[in-house]
Amino acid sequence: MPGRRGCLIRIPANRQPPVTSVSPKPASDPARPGTERPNLLGMTPGELGEALDSHFLGRGQPAYRARQTARWVHAGDARSIAAMTDLPLAERNALERSFRLEEPELDTVSVSTDGTAKHLWRLRGGEVVESVLIPAPGRLTLCISSQAGCALACRFCATGWSGFGRQLSAAEIAGQYRASARWAGEHGMGSVSNVVFMGMGEPLANRKAVFPALTILNSGYGLGARRITVSTVGVIPGIEALAERREQFRLALSLHAPVSELRRELIPLEKRYPLDQLINTLEAFNRSGGRRITFEYTMIRGVNDDLALLPPLTGLARRVQAFVNLIPFNPIPYVDWRPSHRNRVQAYRQGLEEAGVPVAVREPRGRDIDAACGQLRAARYPGRRSAHPVEDASPADLPQPGEGPQ
């Protein structure tokens, strides 16, 4: 670990950039009491175009008003409807009455000694999530969250121990990208080149929001599909649905054990979707073409790093032509585990390479600010979450009460 703690930057409310408002508007549409004005950030480009075309047509405005507004949402990076300065004031007022443009609110930024930056975002209703910017030579990766907390209760992951709050909306997911990319540009980190859905939550248990968010990132913000990776612990219906999409989004499987018995101890979802079925699904995913599969394998001393596990790991990787990331375990508060010894990690790496499996050892990034793999838990807001899933997470995708940490 680095010899000194990372830097925590607190952003007091009175130092937030001012939000310009044309005229104060309620959160709901006054013409339809109790209804929420749709957030422009949560619409796919097609939906955004249709909604804006209809809005401006109804006001007798020329068609280019819709294109102007859409540019502000994506390329223009407006932080409010009031900031869309090439729209007449009356049109901004009218747009504000029908829509909103709202990003998650920045609470704090923690900067690691290795340059990693973790953002804590406040959401409507009081929930919080974290995202992480990870700089590397020639690239800047953004790790974003898809749920507030997580219901899957994987034993090696701090998010799972923190419980489940709620699903994020597509706007809250896209908003993390938008606000993080702006922050990175303002602080000399450059442009975000890659996005990984490896933050808080199980992305494929929130397909209702994650799939539109994928389209928004790809088609709205111009991020290549092969630069976007969706991570899952093995939600088979979600993998099948992702395979049906024409875009070549990448898939990462949190494997962590190559045999079902051990994997069941680490990942409760293994009971619902056992490894043999999961690998069959990944073989079908692989046949869809052009979509690299990555195995994430957290190496925990004395738990899943026995050399006897190397042959089955190699066999699974070769079956689906997977790239393997070996990840030394990052400490979390809830279990007394330690990372595998360096020589054991290297033995795994060498064994995989000799078998022709592409492999890398992921160096821990952001450990000193609890931003490394498995450490995200929004620790400043403990005890807010329930252990029970809500909204559109299918019961078949999630563990039952009593499975995993309580």
Report d(CA 225, CA 229) in Å as an integer: 8
One DSSP character per residue, 50-93 reads HHHHHHHHHTT--THHHHHHHHHHTTS--SSGGG-TTS-HHHHH
Check: CB of residue 165 under 8 Å from CB of residue 149: yes
Helix (H, G, I), strand (E, B) or coil at 400: coil
Helix (H, G, I), strand (E, B) or coil at 396: helix
Greatest Cα-to-Cα distance within the chain, rounded to the nearest angstrom: 71
Helix (H, G, I), strand (E, B) or coil at 364: coil
Query: How does 205-214 read in b/e, with b if 16+ C-beta sit within 10 Å?
Result: bbbebbbbbb
Report d(CA 291, CA 295) in Å as an integer: 13
Alpha-carbon Rg for the chain in angstroms: 22
Tokens representing 102? 């709202």
Report d(CA 153, CA 163) in Å as an integer: 8
Q: What is the DSSP letter of 321?
A: T
Burial class for 202, CB neighbours closer than 10 Å (0-12, 13-18, 19+): buried
Q: Among all residues, which ones are annotated catalytic?
A: 130, 373
Residues in the chain: 406
Closest C-alpha to 297, from 279, 322, 320, 277: 322
Report d(CA 245, CA 259) in Å as an integer: 30
Burial class for 48, CB neighbours closer than 10 Å (0-12, 13-18, 19+): buried
Q: What is the DSSP letter of 110?
A: E
Q: What is the DSSP letter of 130?
A: E
